[in-house]
Amino acid sequence: MSGPSTYQPSHPALQWFEKRLPLIGLIHSSFIAYPTPRNLNYWWTFGGILSFMLGVQIVTGVILAMHYTPHVDHAFNSVEAIVRDVNYGWLLRYLHSNGASMFFIAVYIHMLRGLYYGSYKAPREVLWILGVIIYLLMMATGFMGYVLPWGQMSFWGATVITNLFSAIPYVGESIVTLLWGGYAVGNPTLNRFFSLHYLLPFVIAGVVVLHVWALHVVGQNNPAGVEPKTEKDMVPFTPYATIKDGFGIVCFMIFYAWFVFYIPNYLGDPDNYIQANPGVTPAHIVPEWYYLPFYAILRSIPSKLGGVIAMFSAIIVLAFLPWLDSAKTRSSKYRPLAKQFFWIFVAVCVLLGWLGGKPAEGVYIIAGRVLTFCYFAYFLIVLPILSRIETPRAVPNSIADDVLAKYGKKAGPMAPVILALVLAGGLVMGGAQNARAAEGGPTPPSLSWSFAGPFGTFDRGALQRGYKVYKEVCATCHSMNLVHFRNLADPGGPGFSAAQALAVASDIKVQDGPNDAGDMFERPGRLADKFPAPFPNENAARAANGGAYPPDLSLMAKARNYDRGFPQFIFDFFWQFQEKGPNYIDALLQGYTDPPKDFQLPQGAYYNKYFPGHAIKMPKPISDDQVTYDDGTPQKVENYAKDVATFLMWTAEPHLEARKKLGLQVMIFLIIFAFLMYFTKKKVWANAH
Amino acid sequence: MTTTSSAQHTRRDFLYVATGAVAAVGAAAAAWPLISQMNPDASTIAAGAPIEVDLTPIAEGQDIKVFWRGKPIYISHRTKKQIDDARAVPVSSLPDPQTDQARVKEGHDQWLVVIGICTHLGCIPIAHEGAYDGFFCPCHGSVYDTSGRIRQGPAPANLPIPPYAFVSDSKIKIG
Ligand code: FES
């Protein structure tokens, strides 16, 4: 992008166009002829990965917006309708929601790479500051996107984050009201968040263009941190960088697909599968994992205004990095002390992230303060001092020398890089899973489920028996608002025929109307009807259940979880464990016992060892021989619980089988593709070494 | 010497072509869900299930409009004169030749069931209007007769008949 292009198209028509708008020349000089340093390592492919992820997020986001309704009454259900009814809607939603996490993983690696190799140093200060702006925009976009599904975490996250602005002296309250467009987070808030969530990615794309432009003016930094001197130092962008970035992207896609197809809810909070309720706050409000370090900084300062200032400064300080670190040597490879402090800084960030997921109490608060100090000390004390006292090692004379030196000792393969990536990622993300630490109680036993693992499918018999238990026991109190009679005949479900599903439907009387005469009437259920609630309205349901409102069961298996603890959640990533919900349901149904002697059971409650707090309003719902099984399965509570938990897992995720099946195909494809890309890359680079 | 280098050439070309081909297949496969999501979703399809319509309230010479799959459907209870008018026309003189008998169910000649969407550009014609006492489309002046057949104007075809059947003498099921 620097200076006029020397590119001359060969075809006369293209020449004609080029004279009038030198677009092809621009593309040619930016992405084909553009010289890149020969010694770039794979940390540099995260720039390409980020462009790819921005594209994925924009494409899937535009599509999701075609099906989403930004209204407080419909937002939650419209997201569920996308997942359940839209063709491949589950895929698009999971691509988008996990895509946000992938985007942040990539941007953190990209930023740390810049930090390690001194990519912010002259002449790349503006390039770096543009990057900080992109990061801020990403944070705003990610936050507003998280609000849109209008779950409990969305609502309360929005409340907590917007309230940060109330810390501003004098005008804080007015600013918060301005952000909300009301007296609390509500429909106007959701509407404007949707509008901005749609707008900001295009603003990001615009700043990315500036970022790339700046990059192409000053040229890329490289692991040696020396500026290119001769032709020998560089290779043209295409095919060299193109193929290398391509290979990096495919490897990253494998990692991404692992989440999308096998553990799509691993990074999400189960509370967000409960519709927003302005009257009840979840036990712990936790942001998405990528904000956790900043959340920890916010909470470690005992004053409201101070915390907010510290949190924002933690990001703003990055913009001043080029002036805080005035060392002449760029790359930490040649700075023995800076290298060590860099890794300490990475550890500080990971630990801050882990603390952000812990409740703010006791030793966590002290640790948070120490680490917050360390975070700022790195930028404000360590780097300025190091740049004065450190004696760096000799840097190579040129990029070509660096390549020759490295070529002797065999470049490290990709595997350790990916492994490090996964482990670091797993540790940070796992932090979020721990947020419920204070709830206590024994951990429900982990059962073996037929739908577990990459090849898992539902046990049809269990689904059918589970449906029977649901119908005869659960349905007397609970509704199932997101499931339709037609779903019983859907592929991947209990395997009813359309006629059987219709028979189930027509057994049930549905309120309909008004008809031509203006009257309400009852008619037999149809396939398109939902499972009706057993009570005409919420108050009737409360009255019949001693004041407790029986929750809807459609999403129960996704909305419940329990603490898995360290290091379990890291194994969960590799084992693709996602059976927290069904395990919990099964345990809860069997967890009724007599209270221990010193336990004060409140009036009208029952003791359950797996229920948080142990006092549950629901009496033991099921006992042996209550439901008749025709297939010889023992009629025991144990079996009932397992079957109904299986059934509820299916109602919570009706496309589970389709997801795993497509996942297998995608994985096989990506692995083959990655191999092909690797060998092609080797062939292409063979003449460059 | 020459043979070796040309053999290497082929092997490298094969690798490039294979990688490119796999990339193209992947891109095409990835595009499929992005396009497929635009098709009607499961709830829309379920809502398009057949409907039953009771004919008893429709007096002779009257008609009603019902909706099925978002489309207006005219059900007319035709008079003897309307039927005779429709049958008197020589079929060969029609722009879209079709007998009246082919457009109604046998034994239920008085009932005309048509999709009320003009075959020109999709407006909704008005019943009991126009020179033939059939349908008249106000948009660009297409005129249909009492059998819903096009007689004048720019529309190229007769009003389409939806799939329907008589459940009993006074009840039909559309869809
Ligand atoms: S749409 Fe009916 S005449 Fe043109």
Question: Which tens digits make up the pLDDT trace of B97-131?
Answer: 999 999 999 999 999 999 999 999 999 999 999 99
Is B9 annotated as catalytic?
no
The rounded mean pLDDT for chain A is 90
Q: Which residue of A has its CA nearest to B38?
A: A87
By residue count, chain B amounts to 175
**Bridge partners (DSSP) listed for residue A629:** none
Q: Rounded mean pLDDT of A388-406?
A: 86
| Ligand 1 center–CA B154 separation, angstroms | 7
Contact at CB, A59 and B42, closer than 8 angstroms: no
> In terms of pLDDT, which residue wins out, A518 or B22?
B22
Q: Is B155 in the pocket of ligand 1 (CB under 6 A)?
A: yes
Interface of A to B at Cβ within 8 Å reads 59, 63, 66-67, 81, 84-89, 91-92, 484, 486, 490, 526-528, 669, 672-673, 676-677, 679-680, 683
| Ligand 1 center–CA B113 separation, angstroms | 19
Nearest to A191 by CA among A57, A78, A67, A75: A75
Considering only CB atoms, which chain A residues are within 8 Å of B19? Answer: 673, 676-677, 680
Q: How confident is the model at residue A565 (pLDDT cuts 50, 70, 90)?
A: confident
Spatial separation of the C-alpha atoms in residues A561 and A269, rounded to whole Å: 9
Q: Spell out the SS3 assignment of A108-174.
A: HHHHHHHHHCCCCCCCCHHHHHHHHHHHHHHHHHHHHHHHCCCEHHHHHHHHHHHHHHHHCCCCHHH
Q: Rounded mean pLDDT of A125-147?
A: 96
Mind telling me how many Å the CA of A64 is from chain B's nearest CA?
9
Q: Is B143 in the pocket of ligand 1 (CB under 6 A)?
A: no
- Please provide the DSSP assignment of B124-162 as one string: -PEEEETTTTEEEETTTTEEE-TTS-EEESS--SPPPPP
Angle at A45 between CA A43 and CA A49, to 5 degrees: 120
Q: How confident is the model at residue A564 (pLDDT cuts 50, 70, 90)?
A: confident
Q: How confident is the model at residue B163 (pLDDT cuts 50, 70, 90)?
A: very high
| Ligand 1 center–CA B134 separation, angstroms | 15
Nearest to A484 among B12, B44, B46 (CB): B46
Nearest to A527 among B37, B39, B49 (CB): B49
Cis peptide before A22 (omega within 30 of 0): no
Please, are residues A676 and B26 in contact by the beta-carbon 8 Å criterion?
A: no
Give the contacts of A430 (CB within 8 A, at least 6 positions apart): A354, A566, A569, A570, A573
Spatial separation of the C-alpha atoms in residues A145 and A195, rounded to whole Å: 10
| Ligand 1 center–CA B110 separation, angstroms | 26
Asked if residue A611 has pLDDT above 50, the reply is yes
**For residue A603, what pLDDT is reported?**
85
Residue nearest to atom 3 of ligand 1 (CA): B140
Nearest to B19 among A81, A528, A676 (CB): A676
Substitution candidate for ligand 1 out of B115, B121, B159 with most atoms within 8 A of CB: B121
Q: Which residue of B has its CA nearest to A674?
A: B19
The rounded mean pLDDT for chain B is 91
Q: Is B124 in the pocket of ligand 1 (CB under 6 A)?
A: no
**For residue A2, what pLDDT is reported?**
44
Q: Is B12 in the pocket of ligand 1 (CB under 6 A)?
A: no
Q: Which residue of A has its CA nearest to B40?
A: A86
Mind telling me how many Å the CA of B40 is from chain A's nearest CA?
8
Contact at CB, A528 and B19, closer than 8 angstroms: no
- pLDDT digits 0-9 by tens, A407-452: 655 444 454 565 566 556 655 554 554 444 345 567 888 999 999 9
Mind telling me how many Å the CA of B45 is from chain A's nearest CA?
9
Contact at CB, A92 and B43, closer than 8 angstroms: no
Spatial separation of the C-alpha atoms in residues A55 and A81, rounded to whole Å: 24
Q: Rounded mean pLDDT of B75-91?
A: 94
Mind telling me how many Å the CA of A461 is from chain B's nearest CA?
25
Spatial separation of the C-alpha atoms in residues B123 and A136, rounded to whole Å: 51
Considering only CB atoms, which chain A residues are within 8 Å of B44? Answer: 85
Q: Which residue of A has its CA nearest to B19?
A: A676
* Interchain contact B19–A (C-beta under 8 A): yes
Give the 3-state secondary structure of residue B73: strand
Q: Of A148-152, A346-350, A567-571, B154-158, where does mean pLDDT reach its minimum?
A: A567-571
Please, are residues B52 and B113 in contact by the beta-carbon 8 Å criterion?
A: no
Contact at CB, B38 and A527, closer than 8 angstroms: no
Mind telling me how many Å the CA of A238 is from chain B's nearest CA?
14
ipTM above 0.95? no
Q: Which residue of A has its CA nearest to B9?
A: A683
Q: Rounded mean pLDDT of A635-662?
A: 96
Structure tokens at B11: 């092997």
- Nearest atom within ligand 1 for CA of residue B154: 3
Substitution candidate for ligand 1 out of B115, B117, B119, B123 with most atoms within 8 A of CB: B123
**For residue A359, what pLDDT is reported?**
82
Asked if residue B4 has pLDDT above 60, the reply is no
**For residue A438, what pLDDT is reported?**
41
Asked if residue A10 has pLDDT above 50, the reply is yes
Q: How confident is the model at residue A192 (pLDDT cuts 50, 70, 90)?
A: very high
Contact at CB, B19 and A677, closer than 8 angstroms: yes
Asked if residue A558 has pLDDT above 90, the reply is yes
Contact at CB, B37 and A89, closer than 8 angstroms: yes
Q: Rounded mean pLDDT of A10-37?
A: 90
Indicate the pTM of the whole model: 0.92
Tokens 């349908």 belong to: B135
Spatial separation of the C-alpha atoms in residues A106 and A109, rounded to whole Å: 5
* Interchain contact B4–A (C-beta under 8 A): no
Using a pLDDT cut of 90, give the percent of chain B over it. Answer: 87
Q: Which residue of A has its CA nearest to B45?
A: A528
Q: Residue B94 CA to chain centroid, in angstroms?
A: 20
Mind telling me how many Å the CA of B165 is from chain A's nearest CA?
20
Considering only CB atoms, which chain A residues are within 8 Å of B34? Answer: 59, 63, 92
Please, are residues B60 and B79 in contact by the beta-carbon 8 Å criterion?
A: yes
Contact at CB, A59 and B34, closer than 8 angstroms: yes
Q: How many CB pairs under 8 A join A and B?
A: 64
Contact at CB, B49 and A526, closer than 8 angstroms: yes
Contact at CB, A87 and B26, closer than 8 angstroms: no
Angle at A225 between CA A219 and CA A231, to 5 degrees: 55
Structure tokens at A686: 């063979």
Give the 3-state secondary structure of residue A531: strand
Q: Rounded mean pLDDT of A261-290?
A: 92
Asked if residue A633 has pLDDT above 50, the reply is yes
Q: Rounded mean pLDDT of A637-660?
A: 96
| Ligand 1 center–CA B94 separation, angstroms | 18
Q: Which of residues 36-55 of B touch A (CB under 8 A)?
A: 36-39, 41-44, 46-47, 49
- How far CA A28 is from CA of A31, A32, A33, A236, A684, in Å, comes to 6, 5, 6, 11, 19
- pLDDT digits 0-9 by tens, A201-248: 999 999 999 999 999 899 999 999 999 888 889 999 989 999 999 999
Q: Is B123 in the pocket of ligand 1 (CB under 6 A)?
A: yes
Please, are residues A269 and A125 in contact by the beta-carbon 8 Å criterion?
A: no
**For residue A425, what pLDDT is reported?**
61
DSSP A608: B
Tokens 């507003």 belong to: A144
Phi then psi for residue B170, to 5 deg, are -120, 20
Nearest to A527 among B36, B37, B46 (CB): B46
**For residue A508, what pLDDT is reported?**
87
Contact at CB, A81 and B22, closer than 8 angstroms: no
